[in-house]
Amino acid sequence: MKIPLQAIVIGGGLGGLWAALRIADAGFPLQLFSLFEVKRSHSVCAQGGINAVLDTKGERDSVRQHIIDTIKGGEYLANQPPIKSLCEHAPGLIRTFERMGVTFSRTSEGILDQRLFGGVKNRRTCFAGASTGQQLLYGVDQQVRRLESLGRIEKFEWWEFLSLLQDADGTCRGIVAMDLRSLEVRAFPAEVVVLATGGFGQLYAPKTTTSTNCTGAAASRCYQQGARFANAEFFQFHPTAMLGNDKTRLMSEAARGEGGRIWVPRNPGEHRPPRSIPEGERFYFLEEFFPAYGNTVARDEAARAIWRVTRQMGLGIGGSDRVYLDLTHLDRGFVSKRLGAILDIYRKFAGTDPLNAPMEIFPAAHYPMGGLWVDFERDASGGMRPGSPSNQATNIPGLYACGECDYAYHGANRLGANSLLSASFSGRVAGESAVSYLKGLVRDSAVPSERMLRAEVERQTAINQAFMESDGPENPYRLHRELGELMTSKVGVVRTNPDLEMALEELQRLRERLRSVHLGDSRTWANQTLAFTRQLRDMIELAMAVARSALERDECRGAHYKAAFKIPIPDGTFPGDPEYEDYRMRWKTNNDRWLKTSVAEWTPDGPRIRYEEVDLSVYPPTDPRDYR
Amino acid sequence: MKEWIHLRIRRQDGPETPPYWQTFRLPYAPDQNVVSVLMCLRENPMTTDGRQVEPVAWDHNCMEEVCGSCAMSINGVPRPSCSALIDDLEQPIVLEPLPKFPVVRDLLVDRARMDAGLRRVKAWIEIDGIWDIHEGAPRISPAEWSASYLYSRCMSCGCCMAACPQFGPQSDFIGPAPLAQVRLMNAHPTGRYDKTERLHRIMASGGLSDCGNAQNCVRVCPKEIPLTTAIGELGRQTTLQSLKDLFGQG
C-alpha cells in the first residue's frame, strides 16, 4: 500500500495557517504544530491593517505604486519579483479573507473601507476595527477548524519543534518535537516541513512589542542545522510604544495615520501638564523634519527622530526617554471608533485616557525584516512563477519558511500594514510550493530509517537531560533579561562598531554562562523552565547572527543605522541641483558595495557572513529614499 | 506607599495531584500587573517563609489582552492577568487557576473544550476553497458590521465559561463563548446559508436551553462582548427554527 506523503506545518499564526489550508486543500495529510492553541499566535497583535490596492478612494492608487512603495520602503534590499507578486495578489487575498467572514470595517455603502498608513500617500490599508490581525487570524483559524472537523488537518497544540530530521544529504525528512506537558520527545517523519514560527523580538525583551513566544528559537534551530539566515541585522524599532515592566505595548501607527501628532515641549525644563502648554511652545518635530510626510513618515525615520530629540537634543519629557503622541485635538467619537483598541490598551495598561491627555511613548523592537533565507523562481512577467517549488524554499531541501520567520519581502525596512499581507501571502505560497515539492518527489514515502529517528530523539533528549541535571549559579530568566538589555543598548536603534564588537563578546559570555544554569524545577511534567531554557540557548545563537551581521555592514540602510557611515542628503538641495546629484553619485557607489543580502551561516565558532546580489529587475534603484 | 506585593497562589503539580497553597512577597514597584509580577517571581521563587520552590507555571503570550492566554482567577474573579494592574487589586492577591477547566499544572489549564464547542457549532463560513474567486462577499451595512464586530473579538480566554454556573465538568453545556459565535456566523450574508444546521446543533442536549440566565458571563467578559444579547437573539432564532421544523419548512 502506498502511504500518502505527509506534510508538517510548524506555527499557527497567519503564515502557518494559510500554508496549512493550502496543503490540506490539495489533499495531503497535514500535521500542524504549535506551542499553544493556534488562535493565540502573535498575529493577533497586529492592530492597524493590511495593505491591498483596491483604489476605492478616488486617489488613482495602483498596484505599481504599492510595489514601488514596498521596494523603496525597504531601501531596495528585498528581491523584487516576490514583492511584485505580493502586491499583485493582495486584492485577491483580501477578497478571500472577506469570504471567510473577516469583519473588515465598512464604508457607508457597505464595501471595505481603507485608511492611510505610514510611508505611503494613498489610502490603501484595509482594517477591521482596531484589531485587524486578530480578525484575519480568526478567519483562517475558523477554516482550519473546518478542515480539522473533516479529518484533513491534525493539530498538535502544546508541542514544541526541537529539530529537523535530516537525511545524510541534508534533505529534511520531518521533525522532532516535544510535548510541553508530558515532555515526551518524539520524531514525526514527513516529506515536507513548512516553518512559520514568527519573529524574534524576545531578543530585546522587555523592550519589545512582541509576544513572549516570539523567541526565534525555531528558526534558530533550523539555522544551526544548516539553514541560511538572511539580513539578520535589519530589525524594525516601532517608534510608538508605551513602556512597561513585562513588555512595551505597541500604539499602532494608525494613531499617526488618523491624525495623531508627535511632539515634545520646546523647553526642556517644562513642568506644566501637556494640554496647558501653548501651541507655540510645542515642538512637532516630525512635521518639521519631514514636511512632506509629517507624522506619517516611515517607522525607522520616526524612531531615529525620537532618539535624536530625546538623546541628542535632550528634549524628552522631563529629560527621560519619552515623547508625546497626541490625539486630544481630534474628534473624540472619530478617535474612539477608529482607534478603539489603542485607547483600550493605553487606558488598561497605563491607567490614563489618551482622549484627555497625550500618550507617552518611545521606540521598541517590533519586527525583524531578516529571517530564514528563502528562494524564488522568476517568471517571464517578472514576478514569482506560480506553483514553483523554489518559492519560499530554504536552502535545506524539503524545508520551507514563510511569514515573519522568512526574510523575503521587506528588505531593510517594512512598511506598516505590509506584515499581515506578507504573512498571508507567503504562507499561501509556501503551502503551494510544498504541494509542488510533494508532487515532484520521485520516492514513495519511504519512512526515514529508524536509526536516524532514534539518533535525533536521543540527541534532543540528552539536551533536556543536561539542563535538568545542570546545577550552576545562573538563572535562565535573569540571563534572558541580560540578553534583552544587551541587545537593546548595543544592537538597537542606533549602532556603532565598538558597541557591536562588545556585544559579540558579551553574547559569547552569555552562551558560556548558560552552561552553568540551574532550572530550579526538576519535574518532568509541564516544566516551563526547561522549555524556556532551551529557547534561550537558541536565542543567544540567533543574537550572534544579528550582532555579527550588524557589525559587518558598514552603512545606513533602512532600520540598520550607523551614524559613522551616513550619507546625508545635503540640506535644501533637490534632484537637479549639482550638490544633490553629487550626493546621488555617492549613494550609488555605496549601493554598489552594500546593496546586497547578508547571509549568515552557523558555525560552532560563530556566524559566518557572506553577501548575495539582490534581484532588482522590477524597479532598479535610481532615486534615494527621500521623506522630506 | 506600599512596600510589598503579597501573593497567595494555589498550586498543583499535575492534573491528578491535590492542590496546595503558597504565599509570596515581592518588593513593590509601580506599573506592575499580575503577569509582570509572576515574571519577577520566577526569577527567584521563594515563599514568604523563605523556602525555595519551583517557579509557578502559568500561560501568557501577548500581554495586551488580545490572545486570551493568561486568564486566571484573581481575587475570585476570572480575568486576564496581563490587564490586572497591581495598584487596583486588594492584597494579598489570590491567584487560582481558571475554574471549570482541568488543571494542567499550577495556574495552567486545558481549554480544549472551547475549541470542541466551536467545532460542534460549525463556527465558520463554508467557503469553496481558499483560492480567489475574483469577488468578495456581499456588502455589509456599517450597522450590521458594528453589531457583528463585537462578537468577532472573542479571544477564547474562557472567563465567561469559568463564571457560568451551568458550565463545568459536571455538565455538557457548551457555554456562552461558542454560542456567541453562532450569533456571529448566522448574521453573515453567506454564513447564513448554514444557519439551520448551527441552530439544530445548539437545540440539542448541552445547547442553548441549558443556559440558566445567571448573566455572569457578560459581567466578566474582558472584551465586553454582549453575550446575553447573543443568547437572547439565539433564543428567538431557535424558537422560529422549531416552528419551521414543526411545519416542515426547515
In tens, the pLDDT along B175-188 reads 999 999 999 999 99
Which uninterrupted H or E stretch holds A136? Answer: helix A132-149
Chain A contacts of B34, Cβ < 8 Å? none
Query: Least CB-CB distance to B14: which of A36, A98, A525?
Result: A525
User: Cβ-count burial of A169 within 10 angstroms (0-12 exposed, 13-18 middle, 19+ buried)?
Assistant: exposed
**Same domain for B90 and B153:** no
Is the Cβ of B52 closer than 8 Å to some Cβ of chain A? yes
- CA-based torsion, B68, A162, A443, A438: positive or negative: positive
CA nearest B86 in A: which residue?
A349
Contact call for residues A95 and B134 (beta carbons, < 8 A): yes
Among candidate residues B109, B124, B141, the one where a domain is terminated: B109
Question: Å from A198 to nearest chain B CA?
Answer: 13
- Of A16, A95, A20, whose CA–CA distance to B132 is shortest? A95
User: Mean per-residue pLDDT for A568-576?
Assistant: 91
Query: Least CB-CB distance to A145: which of B33, B118, B153?
Result: B118
Query: Least CB-CB distance to B57: which of A22, A40, A528?
Result: A528
Q: Compute how many other C-beta atoms are within 10 angstroms of the C-beta atom of residue A335.
A: 21
Is the Cβ of B16 closer than 8 Å to some Cβ of chain A? no
**Same domain for B130 and B14:** no
**Same domain for B149 and B169:** yes
Asked whether the predicted pLDDT for residue A437 surpasses 80, the reply is yes
**Same domain for B179 and B80:** no
Q: Is residue A306 part of a domain?
A: yes
**Same domain for B239 and B125:** yes
- The pLDDT value recorded for residue A298 is 78
Q: How far is it, in rounded angstroms, from Cα A418 to Cα A92? A: 15
Contact A149 B129 (CB under 8 A): no
Domain that holds residue B228: 112-246
Give A74-104 pLDDT, tens digit per residue: 999 999 999 999 999 999 999 999 999 999 9
Chain A contacts of B184, Cβ < 8 Å? 101
User: Mean per-residue pLDDT for A38-43?
Assistant: 98
Which uninterrupted H or E stretch holds A156? Answer: strand A153-157
Between the alpha carbon of residue A407 and those of residues A64, A233, A402, A432, A528, the distances in Å are: 22, 11, 9, 18, 29
CATH number of residue A492's parent domain: 1.20.58.100
Between the alpha carbon of residue B196 and those of residues B55, B116, B242, the distances in Å are: 49, 20, 10
Question: Å from B89 to nearest chain A CA?
Answer: 13
Check A22, A228, A282, A299 and give the catalytic one.
Answer: A299
- The pLDDT value recorded for residue A2 is 62
Question: Å from B21 to nearest chain A CA?
Answer: 18
Is the Cβ of B54 closer than 8 Å to some Cβ of chain A? yes
Give B48-93 pLDDT, tens digit per residue: 999 999 999 999 999 999 999 999 999 999 999 999 999 999 999 9
Distance of CA A92 to the CA centre of its chain: 23
**Same domain for B182 and B75:** no
Q: Is residue A243 part of a domain?
A: yes
Among candidate residues A344, A364, A384, the one where a domain is terminated: A364
Question: Å from A445 to nearest chain B CA?
Answer: 27
Q: Is residue A407 part of a domain?
A: no
Which uninterrupted H or E stretch holds A334? Answer: helix A332-338
Question: Å from B35 to nearest chain A CA?
Answer: 7
Least confident of A235-244, A375-384, B80-89: A235-244
CA nearest B187 in A: which residue?
A101
- The pLDDT value recorded for residue A227 is 98
At B42, is the pLDDT very low, low, confident or very high (cuts 50, 70, 90)? Answer: very high
- The pLDDT value recorded for residue A622 is 85
Among candidate residues B77, B109, B141, the one where a domain is terminated: B109
Contact A36 B54 (CB under 8 A): no
Q: Is residue A149 part of a domain?
A: no
CA nearest B120 in A: which residue?
A149
CA dihedral A274, A279, A281, A282 (to 10 degrees): 60
pTM of the model as a whole: 0.95
Among candidate residues A326, A346, A364, the one where a domain is terminated: A364
Between the alpha carbon of residue A531 and those of residues A292, A622, B36, the distances in Å are: 48, 48, 19
CA nearest B147 in A: which residue?
A103
- Of A167, A213, A189, whose CA–CA distance to A29 is shortest? A189
Chain A contacts of B125, Cβ < 8 Å? 99-101, 142
Question: Å from A517 to nearest chain B CA?
Answer: 12
Phi and psi, residue A145, nearest 5°: -65, -35
CA nearest B186 in A: which residue?
A101
Which uninterrupted H or E stretch holds A164? Answer: strand A159-166
Is the Cβ of B64 closer than 8 Å to some Cβ of chain A? yes
Contact A142 B125 (CB under 8 A): yes
Query: Least CB-CB distance to B83: which of A99, A348, A523?
Result: A348
Chain A contacts of B40, Cβ < 8 Å? 245
A206 half-sphere exposure, CB direction, 13 A CA radius: 17
Q: How far is it, in rounded angstroms, from Cα A397 to Cα A226? A: 11
Question: Å from A215 to nearest chain B CA?
Answer: 11
**Same domain for B133 and B61:** no
Domain count along chain A: 2
User: Mean per-residue pLDDT for A104-116?
Assistant: 96
Domain count along chain B: 2
CA nearest B69 in A: which residue?
A40
- Mean pLDDT computed over every residue of chain A: 94
Contact B139 A523 (CB under 8 A): no
- In one-letter notation, the amino acid at residue A451 is R
Compute the count of residue pairs across chains A and B with CB atoms less than 8 Å apart: 193
- The pLDDT value recorded for residue A203 is 98
Among candidate residues A559, A574, A589, the one where a domain is terminated: A574
**Same domain for B129 and B95:** no
Best A40, A89, A156 member to test B by mutation, with max B CBs in 10 Å, is: A40
Distance of CA B242 to the CA centre of its chain: 29
- The pLDDT value recorded for residue A337 is 86
**Same domain for B123 and B97:** no
Question: Å from B26 to nearest chain A CA?
Answer: 14
- The most distant pair of C-alpha atoms in chain A lies apart, rounded to whole Å, by 81
Q: Is residue A492 part of a domain?
A: yes
- In one-letter notation, the amino acid at residue A593 is R
CA angle A435, A438, A443 (to 5 degrees): 175
User: pLDDT > 90: what percent of chain A?
Assistant: 85
Report CA Rg, chain B: 21
Contact A40 B68 (CB under 8 A): yes
Chain A contacts of B83, Cβ < 8 Å? 348-349
Give A453-507 pLDDT, tens digit per residue: 999 999 999 999 999 999 999 999 999 999 999 999 899 999 999 999 999 999 9
Give A120-178 pLDDT, tens digit per residue: 889 999 999 889 999 999 999 999 999 999 999 999 999 999 999 999 899 999 999 99
Catalytic-residue membership of A95: no
Contact call for residues A435 and A23 (beta carbons, < 8 A): yes
Query: Least CB-CB distance to B125: which of A99, A107, A481?
Result: A99
Query: Least CB-CB distance to A478: which of B43, B65, B66?
Result: B43
Chain B contacts of A142, Cβ < 8 Å? 118, 123-125
**Same domain for B165 and B77:** no
Residues 194-233 of B with CB under 8 A from A: none
Contact B130 A143 (CB under 8 A): yes
Contact call for residues A214 and A198 (beta carbons, < 8 A): yes
DSSP string, A257-317: HTT-EEEEESSTT--S-GGGS-GGGEE-HHHHH-TTTGGG--HHHHHHHHHIIIIIS--SG
**Same domain for A454 and A569:** yes
Give A507-544 pLDDT, tens digit per residue: 999 999 999 999 999 999 999 999 999 999 999 999 99
Among candidate residues B79, B109, B139, the one where a domain is terminated: B109
Query: Least CB-CB distance to B63: which of A21, A134, A246?
Result: A246
Query: Least CB-CB distance to A211: which of B61, B136, B188?
Result: B61
Residues 138-157 of B with CB under 8 A from A: 139-142, 145, 148-149, 152-153, 155-156
- The pLDDT value recorded for residue B1 is 54
Domain that holds residue A509: 450-574
Contact B67 A44 (CB under 8 A): yes
Question: Å from A626 to nearest chain B CA?
Answer: 35
User: Mean per-residue pLDDT for A262-267?
Assistant: 96
CATH number of residue B15's parent domain: 3.10.20.30
Query: Least CB-CB distance to A99: which of B32, B65, B136?
Result: B136
Q: Is residue A524 part of a domain?
A: yes
**Same domain for B119 and B104:** no
- The pLDDT value recorded for residue B204 is 95
Asked whether the predicted pLDDT for residue B31 surpasses 90, the reply is no
**Same domain for B147 and B133:** yes
Q: Is residue A352 part of a domain?
A: yes
Q: Is residue A587 part of a domain?
A: no
Give B94-125 pLDDT, tens digit per residue: 999 999 999 999 999 999 999 999 999 999 99
CA nearest B42 in A: which residue?
A477
CATH number of residue A338's parent domain: 3.90.700.10
Asked whether the predicted pLDDT for residue B33 surpasses 90, the reply is yes
Residues 83-142 of B with CB under 8 A from A: 83, 85, 87, 104-105, 108, 111, 115, 118-119, 122-127, 129-137, 139-142
